[in-house]
Amino acid sequence: MHKSKHSSAHTLVVLDFETTGLSPGQGDRAIEIGAVRLEQGVITDRFQRLMNPGRRIDAFIEDYTGITNRMLSQAMPCAEVMDEFADFIGGYNLVAHNASFDRRFLDAELQRIRRNYSGTFACSMLAARRLYPAAPNHKLGTLVGYKALPNDGTFHRALADAEMTAHLWLAMLEEVEQCHGVTDIGFTLMQKLMKVSKASLAGFFERQRRR
Active site residues: 156
Which sign, positive or negative, has the C-alpha torsion 13, 18, 22, 23? negative
φ/ψ of 103, rounded to 5, equals -65, -40
CB burial of 69-99 (b: ≥16 within 10 Å; e: otherwise) equals eebbeebeebeebbbebbebbeebbbbbbbb
CB 32 within 8 A of CB 51: yes
The DSSP secondary-structure symbol of 25 reads G
